[in-house]
A and B are shown apart, each in its own frame.
Chain A
Amino acid sequence: MRLLVENGRVVDPASGRDERADVAIAAGRIVAIGRAPADFQPERRIDASGCIVMPGLVDLAVRLREPGHEHEGMLQSELRAAAAGGVTSLVCPPDTDPPLDEPGLVEMLKFRARRLSSCRLFPLGALTRGLQGDALTEMAHLSEAGCVGFSQADHPVRDTNLLMRALQYAATFGHTVWLRPQDAWLATGVAASGAVATRLGLSSVPVAAETVALHTIIELVRATGARVHLCRLSSAAGVALVRRAKAEGLPITADVNGQSLHLTDVDIGYFNADMRLSPPLRQQADRDALRRGLADGTIDALVSDHNPVADDAKNLPFAEAEPGASAVELLLSLALKWGQDDGVGLAATLARVTSDPARVLGASLGALAASAGRLVEGGVADVCVFDPQPTWQVSRHTLRSQGKHTPFDFAATGTALPGRVLATVLAGGVSHEDEPVATAWPSGAR
């Protein structure tokens, strides 16, 4: 299909482009940015006046719950939610049911996602069989099936010898290992150590749970030269360790999720289980350090850490509730809010959810690597068009995910989030278009 996105402000962080321009798309590729060729006859136009035209978002952490919840149609609903959030590529962790440790499972998942045409899906393969931490998986086979890296999701490897072997093996083929810096024994609590956990009588997770694990991982990277992506930093001390490791030149990248970037343990309030998250929300100083780290590039990417949790699993006493929140639809808004609050320029803000996560994925994206997270003439047409002016109130009525729990629920925060996605283009086709929903978008006329 020939598509013309016209009159918008095109912002491409990777190239530094920021100008009013049209984007002409045909056969799944961007044909031109600027002026469409004279003979370009679009079959469809999208009027992006007053809007920003950016590369489709790349979200490095989205749980889709499939395999495992096929009967609930989760793959479809969650991929559509991603598209509604302007996300065109997402990475999912291997902790599905069963875990993604067999090429067949990976192929099936990719196949089903492709058919839905809502969002590109890049799975992480399990680093060890069954995620048990005992034996390596067939990384070569898995990467051939489509895995872009290898991960233990939230199951730390206790056996450091095995972890080192896994890093060495992955390094052989140039695979990136994605690890949560979380010590298995220190991280058994449900809230971050501090005054709030003490007052509320909740079992706590000391900062050492993250720093001890970071030290171990960094040492093993030094020893093996493996590429590691650190998932979900949550503490100031953690950011400092990553900064030093990067300064040393170690092949390490890192991400932070939207919850840790905006909230603190005080937001738990009266045991609000929507705040039951992993990693747990820490204190103000940690939040500030995470924000600085994302701004100065110590932290490469902002991720949603999408995890749809059912009502039954949240309407429980705090410690029994399942950690997690629906977030993929909020990624752009949370990035914009951070950028606005901290005075980070638009290009840098958007980079953290487009070109920077694409860079983390690097060569694992194969042919897509050249244009993922960017707007490049000749590159794939993955585009997000959004209006920065209006705000929206997050609630179970405005969320498209099947999981209706989020700490950013307007009823809890009283704060509406900025930005509204008008349209998402995936491989040249429109994967999402916004319908005017009066209750969802209370402000901001176009």
Chain B
Amino acid sequence: MLSRRNPQLNAHGELIHLLSIEGLPREVLVHILDTAGTFLSVNEREVKKVPLLRGKSVFNLFFENSTRTRTTFEIAAKRLSADVINLDIARSSTAKGETLLDTIANLSAMHADMFVVRHGESGAPHLIARHCASHVHVVNAGDGRHAHPTQGLLDMYAIRHYKTDFSQLTVAIVGDIVHSRVARSDIHALTTLGVPEVRVVGPRTLVPADLRAMGVRVCHDMAEGMRDADVIIMLRLQNERMSGAMLPSAAEFAKTFGLTPDKLALARPDAIVMHPGPINRGVEIDSSVADGQASVILPQVTFGIAVRMAVMSIIAGNEA
């Protein structure tokens, strides 16, 4: 079949879009992490700006609301000296008639250089990348339940920062895996970077057996999932899941799969606890754990800015 080249890479194997971690070679991921390290030190200088994206326009296209993600992308772009335009395209305005591709065409006519896209449907950034002009770069800020590659990368940065060597780790991801784009990106990144054991933990309705096809070990028991883990990634339980067909209640989830101190005690003594945020205290994670010594949730945010600066500066410098 034709058209099978990964649309994120140009003919030289360089990154021109970041749509998904899946299909990216290990070297590309490592390059992003190394570059993020440089930007982390930039963010500690007095002058936190570098001129790499000066004169470029970055459009934040958020079809799904997210102040926190949008803000980190905005900070990252501004630290690269780019001009940032935020577009909150609520569902209702697209329902008024303008198609996604018409929106993109109009914005391209305004000389956009980069689109940072968050959309409720899996595959939307791929559609945009297929149809925008060749000099425009697309960064996926989260599409449906498919991918959230910058989150996956910043999670890897955090793990590398605290644990150094991926090849010795046991990582457990807990929660609503089947609906989670963060989980999918984390899983692809972990397996590409050589983590030998990646576990997904949760009830069968949220963690179905066919996840095994992604190269992970499926656990339906929290104790089993936590045993000797080096890294625990807790996912946010979304409100829609908590009532009804998938899960009876938040309280039930907290009881069976919530990360409490005694569950954490089953993991390695030096295990780290991560969460993409925002956290639901008392549901997927106890306050004492979220605020405790093992938690690296706040550093993740700092890493997030550096990782996004790395991604944007790498792709903007490569031609299609």
Q: Does A436 contact B (CB under 8 A)?
A: no
Q: B3 touching A193 by the CB < 8 A rule?
A: no
Beyond A198-B211, A199-B213, A414-B2, whether A315 also contacts B127 by CB under 8 A is yes
In the bound complex, CA of A41 to CA of B122 (Å): 64
Q: Does B87 contact A (CB under 8 A)?
A: no
Encode B120-138 as 1/0 by CB contact (under 8 A) with A: 0111101100010000000
Contacts of B38 in A (CB 8 A): none
Q: Does A345 contact B (CB under 8 A)?
A: no
Contacts of B127 in A (CB 8 A): 271, 273, 315-317
Encode A259-292 as 1/0 by CB contact (under 8 A) with B: 0000000010111110000000000000000000
Q: B1 touching A319 by the CB < 8 A rule?
A: no
Q: In the complex, what's the smallest C-beta–C-beta distance from A435 to chain B, in angstroms?
A: 28
Encode A96-129 as 1/0 by CB contact (under 8 A) with B: 0000000000000000000000000000000000
Choose among B100, B126, B210 the residue that contacts A271 (Cβ–Cβ < 8 A). Answer: B126
Q: Does A200 contact B (CB under 8 A)?
A: yes
Q: A201 touching B1 by the CB < 8 A rule?
A: no
Q: In the complex, what's the smallest C-beta–C-beta distance from A321 to chain B, in angstroms?
A: 9
In the bound complex, CA of A225 to CA of B184 (Å): 49
Q: B121 touching A412 by the CB < 8 A rule?
A: no
Contacts of B147 in A (CB 8 A): 201
Q: A319 touching B99 by the CB < 8 A rule?
A: no
Chain A residue with the shortest CB-CB distance to B100: A316
Choose among A270, A319, A320, A411 the residue that contacts B126 (Cβ–Cβ < 8 A). Answer: A270
Contacts of B100 in A (CB 8 A): 315-317
Chain B residue with the shortest CB-CB distance to A410: B2
Contacts of A413 in B (CB 8 A): 1-2
Q: B131 touching A200 by the CB < 8 A rule?
A: no
Q: Does A390 contact B (CB under 8 A)?
A: no
Q: In the complex, what's the smallest C-beta–C-beta distance from B47 to chain A, in angstroms?
A: 40
Q: B210 touching A195 by the CB < 8 A rule?
A: yes
Chain B residue with the shortest CB-CB distance to A316: B100
Q: In the complex, what's the smallest C-beta–C-beta distance from A120 to chain B, in angstroms?
A: 36
Beyond A198-B210, A199-B214, whether A318 also contacts B122 by CB under 8 A is yes
Encode A20-47 as 1/0 by CB contact (under 8 A) with B: 0000000000000000000000000000
Beyond A198-B214, A199-B214, A201-B147, whether A270 also contacts B7 by CB under 8 A is yes
Q: Does B275 contact A (CB under 8 A)?
A: no
Beyond A315-B99, A316-B100, whether A193 also contacts B123 by CB under 8 A is no
Q: Does A378 contact B (CB under 8 A)?
A: no
Contacts of A319 in B (CB 8 A): 121-123, 144
Beyond A315-B99, A317-B122, A319-B121, whether A200 also contacts B146 by CB under 8 A is yes
Contacts of A317 in B (CB 8 A): 100, 119, 121-124, 127, 143-144
Encode B4-48 as 1/0 by CB contact (under 8 A) with A: 100100000000000000100000000000000000000000000
Contacts of B211 in A (CB 8 A): 198
Contacts of B184 in A (CB 8 A): 199, 201
Contacts of B119 in A (CB 8 A): 317
Within 8 A of A (CB), among B54-79: none
Within 8 A of B (CB), among A54-96: none
In the bound complex, CA of A273 to CA of B122 (Å): 12
Chain B residue with the shortest CB-CB distance to A414: B2
Encode B78-122 as 1/0 by CB contact (under 8 A) with A: 000000000000000000000111000000000000000001011
For A193, A199, A202, the residue with the greatest tally of chain B CB atoms inside 10 Å of its CB is A199
Q: Does B199 contact A (CB under 8 A)?
A: no
Give the size range of B's interface with the partner.
20 to 34
In the bound complex, CA of A199 to CA of B185 (Å): 10
Encode B136-151 as 1/0 by CB contact (under 8 A) with A: 0000000111110000
Q: In the complex, what's the smallest C-beta–C-beta distance from A77 to chain B, in angstroms?
A: 23
Q: A194 touching B210 by the CB < 8 A rule?
A: yes
Q: A411 touching B213 by the CB < 8 A rule?
A: no
Q: In the complex, what's the smallest C-beta–C-beta distance from B1 to chain A, in angstroms?
A: 6
Q: Does A159 contact B (CB under 8 A)?
A: no
Q: In the complex, what's the smallest C-beta–C-beta distance from B49 to chain A, in angstroms?
A: 35
Encode B175-211 as 1/0 by CB contact (under 8 A) with A: 0001001001000000000000000000000001011
Q: In the complex, what's the smallest C-beta–C-beta distance from B148 to chain A, in angstroms?
A: 10
Q: Does A341 contact B (CB under 8 A)?
A: no
Chain B residue with the shortest CB-CB distance to A276: B123
Chain A residue with the shortest CB-CB distance to B187: A199
In the bound complex, CA of A199 to CA of B22 (Å): 9
In the bound complex, CA of A270 to CA of B7 (Å): 8
Q: In the complex, what's the smallest C-beta–C-beta distance from A81 to chain B, in angstroms?
A: 25
In the bound complex, CA of A202 to CA of B181 (Å): 11
Q: A318 touching B2 by the CB < 8 A rule?
A: no
Q: B2 touching A200 by the CB < 8 A rule?
A: no
Chain B residue with the shortest CB-CB distance to A191: B122
Q: B214 touching A269 by the CB < 8 A rule?
A: no
Encode B210-230 as 1/0 by CB contact (under 8 A) with A: 110110000000000000000
Choose among B4, B121, B181, B208 the residue that contacts A269 (Cβ–Cβ < 8 A). Answer: B4
Chain A residue with the shortest CB-CB distance to B184: A201
Beyond A194-B210, A315-B101, whether A271 also contacts B122 by CB under 8 A is yes
In the bound complex, CA of A195 to CA of B187 (Å): 14
Q: In the complex, what's the smallest C-beta–C-beta distance from A28 to chain B, in angstroms?
A: 45
Contacts of A414 in B (CB 8 A): 1-2
Contacts of B146 in A (CB 8 A): 200-202
Chain B residue with the shortest CB-CB distance to A201: B146
Contacts of B208 in A (CB 8 A): 198
Q: Does A312 contact B (CB under 8 A)?
A: yes
Chain A residue with the shortest CB-CB distance to B131: A315
Contacts of A312 in B (CB 8 A): 99
In the bound complex, CA of A202 to CA of B147 (Å): 11
Contacts of B1 in A (CB 8 A): 267, 269, 412-414
Encode A233-268 as 1/0 by CB contact (under 8 A) with B: 000000000000000000000000000000000010
Q: Can you list 10 A-B pairs with a CB-CB distance of less than 8 A?
A: A198-B208, A198-B214, A199-B22, A200-B123, A201-B146, A202-B144, A270-B3, A317-B119, A319-B121, A414-B2
Other A-B contacts than A198-B178, A270-B126, A315-B127, 10 sampled, CB-CB below 8 A, are A201-B122, A201-B143, A202-B146, A269-B4, A270-B3, A271-B127, A315-B101, A317-B121, A317-B122, A412-B2
6 tightest Cβ-Cβ pairs between the two chains A and B: A271-B123, A201-B146, A195-B213, A317-B121, A201-B145, A317-B124
Residues of chain B whose beta carbon lies under 8 Å from any beta carbon of chain A: 1-4, 7, 22, 99-101, 119, 121-124, 126-127, 131, 143-147, 178, 181, 184, 208, 210-211, 213-214
